[in-house]
Amino acid sequence: MPEDDYDYDQLLKRAREDLPEEIAYHERFQIPDVESFQEGNTTIVTNFTEISDIIAREPDDILKYLLRELGTAGERDEGRILFKGRIGSRKIQEKFEDYVGKYVLCSECDKPDTRLVKEGRVTLLKCDACGAHRPIRGKKKKTRQPLTEGIEQGETYDLLIQDIGREGDGMARVGSFTIYVPGSTKGDRVKVRIDHIKGTLAFGTVVGKVSS
């Protein structure tokens, strides 16, 4: 099929319909609202333990980040945080969310199923959900970039068609990618040119058979 015949938006819609519901959709990860009050010149966060348990990171690491970002002193006290100074709950909430964006959420799939791994002098955030990883540095990017590790647009690959989508297109998988290949059937071993990549979905054209 010529590349110009592809309606990529339509193919993408069909591809997403073929994905299992738990992959196609997941709720946005959220942390509880900060519960705090002020006592003299001290701000007390009462639900720190609840928030840190949901974030699933070391409480001392979270506290260290908050103190640095808020520019104040403080300490943990029986599941609470005591900050020096009068700090609004909205500002504290923003710093918790910044921490989650930098140290918890995967920059590819936006899921919190991650862990911090030290490799030499570099700390990596590794995602158990999609396999992506990134070094911890700077702010989490607001715009997610397509994951291109494993396949590249315009290149040709030998693929095994592992399944058939609802519209009859063959489906192959390479790493975290699902590749839709019109004109192929389950069990085919074919040479496929990658015509288009969008996120972790790709669309290709059969350009030949793989010799056995």
Q: Which domain holds residue 66?
A: 30-104
- Against a cut of 0.85, is the pTM above it? no
Q: Are residues 187 and 202 in the same domain?
A: yes
Q: Are residues 7 and 71 in the same domain?
A: no
pLDDT digits (tens, 9 = 90+) for 76-95: 998 999 999 999 999 999 99
pLDDT digits (tens, 9 = 90+) for 162-183: 998 877 889 998 888 889 999 8
Q: State the pLDDT at residue 38.
A: 94
Mean pLDDT of the chain: 83
Residue 175: DSSP 8-state: T
Beta strands in 98-211 (DSSP E): 114-119, 122-127, 133-135, 156-160, 163-164, 170-174, 177-181, 189-198, 201-209
Phi, psi for 24 (deg, rounded to 5): -70, -25
Residue 54: DSSP 8-state: H
User: Which residue intervals of the chain are DSSP H helices?
Assistant: 8-18, 21-24, 48-55, 59-70, 89-103
Question: Is the confidence at residue 147, as pLDDT, over 80?
Answer: no
Q: Are residues 162 and 183 in the same domain?
A: yes
Residue type, 175: G
Among the candidates 48, 81, 104, a domain finishes at 104
What is the number of domains present in the chain?
3
What are the angstrom distances between the C-alpha of 186 and each of 1, 158, 207?
18, 14, 17
Report the pLDDT averaged over residues 190-197.
90
- Rounded distance, CA 114 to CA 182, Å? 35
Question: Is the confidence at residue 21, as pLDDT, over 50?
Answer: no
Specify whether the CB–CB gap between 170 and 182 falls below 8 A. Answer: yes
Q: Are residues 79 and 112 in the same domain?
A: no
| Sign of the dihedral defined by the CA atoms of residues 192, 160, 110, 132, in that order | negative
> Cα angle vertex 89, ends 99, 26, to 5°?
50
Q: State the pLDDT at residue 146.
A: 41
Question: Is the confidence at residue 138, as pLDDT, over 50?
Answer: no
Q: State the pLDDT at residue 145.
A: 39
Q: Are residues 84 and 97 in the same domain?
A: yes
Question: Is the confidence at residue 13, as pLDDT, over 50?
Answer: yes
Report the pLDDT averaged over residues 21-35.
68
| Nearest partner of 170 among 159, 181, 179, judged by Cα | 181
